[in-house]
A = this chain, B = another copy of it.
Amino acid sequence: MPPDPTPDDAPSAAGGLAAALRDWSAALGAERVRTDDALLDRYAATTLPSAPRPLAVLFPRDRDQVVACVRGARATGVPLYPISRGRNWGYGDACPPRPGQVVLDLSGMNRVLDVDETLASAEIEPGVTQGQLADLLEARGGALWLDSTGAGPDTSIVGNILDRGFGHTPYGNRPLAVCGLEVVTGRGEILRTGFGHYADAQAHATFPYGLGPSLDGLFMQSNFGVVTRLRLWLMPRPQAYGLFVCSLPGDGDLEPAVETLRGLKLDGTLRSVVHLGNDLRLLSSLQTARSLGLGSGALDASRRAALRGKAGIGAWTFAGGLYGEGDQVRTAGRRLRRLARARGWRFELVTGRTLAAADRLAPLARRLGLARQALARLSAARGLYDLNRGRPSRGFLAGAYWRHRAGLPERFPEHAEPALDDCGLLWLSPVLPATGPAARQLLELVEPLFAAHGFDFLVTFSTVNERSLAAVMTIAFDRTDPAEARRAEACYEACFEAVMAAGFVPYRVGIQSMPRLAEGSQGFWPTVARLREALDPDGIIAPGRYEPDPGPDPGRENRPR
């Protein structure tokens, strides 16, 4: 049974909930309407210090059941929080931004409805995972590649896109790969965007704007409706592909790296999302603080330099893919290598041939004790090589366990469930113009705050488009230590305030920051509220999701034990 809603955390009375549960059970079948504690515990599991617990979980099987859920919610005033796979780690996991909501779990709607190899796209439901689509495309012969994020094969593609996640390939600016949505609005009506609402429109899967205003943007980072289908553009397998990895020895190499990457993005040499990470971010993707034998505080500078030396990595590393005809990839590779050499950066281009050769040579090299660092780097590069051609891997989830007391789970990476494993993870993701000075200003602002709160500073900068970087800064903490969790929260809040005050607005926020989105803003959010009213007049879809709250913080449940 759901816990009794208390007056200040549940907009609907307990009677409303009971009526809603009856209504939904009638429409979906009782087995698709769950309120048992064990299940709710699982959905309330979070990587944040705390997050609201849902009142119930619904499992619609198809779009018509989603319509029934929304109508039931409207009739009873009990709000729904739609999730696709619920793996929004570091930003709120499966948890709604406010208490008193019922999770609408769309994971059972996981059909790939169409794959078009000529025009390179697929139509998918929200439950489709990265791994599922990658496997399906591979099984069909691999003529199409997916864009993949580092969050592993079990995450939803639609869910990530609706939060404007980004990936690694030329299709990594993911909102640009969307060509039409099917949405159940907060009114319970079905809306098809783009050309999709015209019966038999021939270009529905190829022309995203449609005719008249374009509505797709309304359904990203919002709470206007439930997306039940999405047409995703895919990348035809290029004739040639290579991964480049570039290692920069000094911290001061950051500025020229950012300037170089901007130039290469703007002139079309780099078509994909390049990720530039600091030493700790790279280390944390390979091992945990525990496995390195580090204590519980943040690393000091000398220890950090020693670790860097031992791992043979630079202060910064950037990596990305090159795609195209053979001569296109060679031309671009030569250009990058030339630029890197001029700066004294170590540059490696990893191709399928390189990896095969490494496999052949590895046993011998190991026996002779040769080239150990180079081999370790190549092995690490293999994961990136696959990721940059759309093969998701759980390996990159290691970062979530960086400060986990127990280190990586025994069966990692086959088993990796950061929220269920009590990983502590807060992500802060400000956007900056892609200039060296802006990157430096951001670091100088935030790194001291991490240090002051006793956390390692893990950061990546990603070229989300030609002119911007998205920084992703990780506060990894031991969630089983309440004092550390409180410190993590304080660190996050201090950083959030600092970046907002300096004009580094995030591209995405965790549920804990959604109430504060109107700070420093003029005119925008009241307009958003009016638009929402047009599509969800009763406010029953995900109240609080990307919706600033003028009232007092309603408090949080599910604090760490």
Chain B residues, CB < 8 A from A300: none
Check B525 against A535 for contact (C-beta < 8 Å). no
- Smallest beta-carbon distance A183→chain B, Å: 9
Query: Chain B CB within 10 Å — which of A119, A198, A202, A504 has the most?
Result: A202
Is A207 an interface position by the 8 A CB rule? yes
Is A361 an interface position by the 8 A CB rule? no
Check B527 against A185 for contact (C-beta < 8 Å). yes
CB neighbors of B among A153-199 (8 A): 164, 170, 175-176, 179, 185, 189-193, 195, 197-199
Which single member of B164, B191, B527 contacts A215 (CB below 8 Å)? B527
Chain B residues, CB < 8 A from A198: 500, 503, 505, 520-521
CB neighbors of B among A197-231 (8 A): 197-203, 205-222, 224
- Smallest beta-carbon distance A14→chain B, Å: 32
Check B438 against A202 for contact (C-beta < 8 Å). yes
Chain B residues, CB < 8 A from A118: 435
Which single member of B120, B190, B201 contacts A505 (CB below 8 Å)? B201
Check B530 against A203 for contact (C-beta < 8 Å). no
Chain B residues, CB < 8 A from A192: 522-524
Check A508 against B189 for contact (C-beta < 8 Å). no
Chain B residues, CB < 8 A from A327: 331, 335
Chain B residues, CB < 8 A from A170: 268
In the complex, residue of chain B having the shortest beta-carbon distance to the beta carbon of A213: B222
Is A474 an interface position by the 8 A CB rule? no
Interface of chain A, main secondary structure: loop
Is A70 an interface position by the 8 A CB rule? no
Is A284 an interface position by the 8 A CB rule? no
For the complex, give the distance between the alpha carbons of A214 and B423 in Å: 32
**Do A197 and B517 contact each other (CB < 8 Å), given the known contacts A209-B164, A268-B271, A325-B335?**
no
Query: Chain B CB within 10 Å — which of A217, A325, A503 has the most?
Result: A217
Query: Chain B CB within 10 Å — which of A327, A435, A535 has the most?
Result: A327
Scan A110-153; emit 1 where CB is below 8 A from any B CB, else 0. Answer: 00000000111100000000000000000000000000000000
For the complex, give the distance between the alpha carbons of A465 and B121 in Å: 14
**Do A206 and B503 contact each other (CB < 8 Å), given the known contacts A213-B220, A524-B192?**
no
Is A409 an interface position by the 8 A CB rule? no
Check B189 against A523 for contact (C-beta < 8 Å). yes
CB neighbors of B among A415-444 (8 A): 431-435, 438
Is A502 an interface position by the 8 A CB rule? yes
For the complex, give the distance between the alpha carbons of A467 and B144 in Å: 14
CB neighbors of B among A495-524 (8 A): 500, 502-509, 517, 520-524
Check A211 against B502 for contact (C-beta < 8 Å). no
Check B211 against A220 for contact (C-beta < 8 Å). no
- Smallest beta-carbon distance A148→chain B, Å: 19
- Smallest beta-carbon distance A201→chain B, Å: 5
**Do A467 and B267 contact each other (CB < 8 Å), given the known contacts A209-B217, A220-B213?**
no
Check A199 against B520 for contact (C-beta < 8 Å). yes
Check B433 against A119 for contact (C-beta < 8 Å). yes
Check B503 against A200 for contact (C-beta < 8 Å). yes
CB neighbors of B among A323-354 (8 A): 323-325, 327-328, 331-332, 335
Check B528 against A531 for contact (C-beta < 8 Å). no
**Number of A interface residues in the complex (CB < 8 A):** 94
For the complex, give the distance between the alpha carbons of A118 and B467 in Å: 9
Is A233 an interface position by the 8 A CB rule? yes
Check B195 against A505 for contact (C-beta < 8 Å). yes
- Smallest beta-carbon distance A40→chain B, Å: 29
Check B202 against A502 for contact (C-beta < 8 Å). yes
Chain B residues, CB < 8 A from A508: 211
In the complex, residue of chain B having the shortest beta-carbon distance to the beta carbon of A225: B527
Check B528 against A213 for contact (C-beta < 8 Å). yes
Is A25 an interface position by the 8 A CB rule? no
Check A464 against B207 for contact (C-beta < 8 Å). yes
Check A525 against B212 for contact (C-beta < 8 Å). yes
Chain B residues, CB < 8 A from A217: 209, 213-218
Chain B residues, CB < 8 A from A325: 267, 269, 331, 335
Query: Chain B CB within 10 Å — which of A185, A465, A508 has the most?
Result: A465
For the complex, give the distance between the alpha carbons of A438 and B200 in Å: 13
- Smallest beta-carbon distance A235→chain B, Å: 8
Which single member of B195, B221, B503, B524 contacts A202 (CB below 8 Å)? B503
In the complex, residue of chain B having the shortest beta-carbon distance to the beta carbon of A219: B213
Which single member of B164, B221, B331 contacts A331 (CB below 8 Å)? B331
Chain B residues, CB < 8 A from A216: 217
Chain B residues, CB < 8 A from A239: 267
In the complex, residue of chain B having the shortest beta-carbon distance to the beta carbon of A197: B524
Check B517 against A266 for contact (C-beta < 8 Å). no
Check A207 against B534 for contact (C-beta < 8 Å). no
Q: Show the binding face of A for B, using Cβ within 8 Å.
A: 118-121, 164, 170, 175-176, 179, 185, 189-193, 195, 197-203, 205-222, 224, 233, 236, 238-239, 266-269, 271, 323-325, 327-328, 331-332, 335, 431-435, 438, 464-468, 500, 502-509, 517, 520-525, 527-528, 530-531, 533-535, 546
Q: What are 7 pairs between A and B in contact, CB < 8 Å?
A: A190-B523, A192-B523, A202-B433, A209-B220, A213-B219, A233-B466, A236-B267
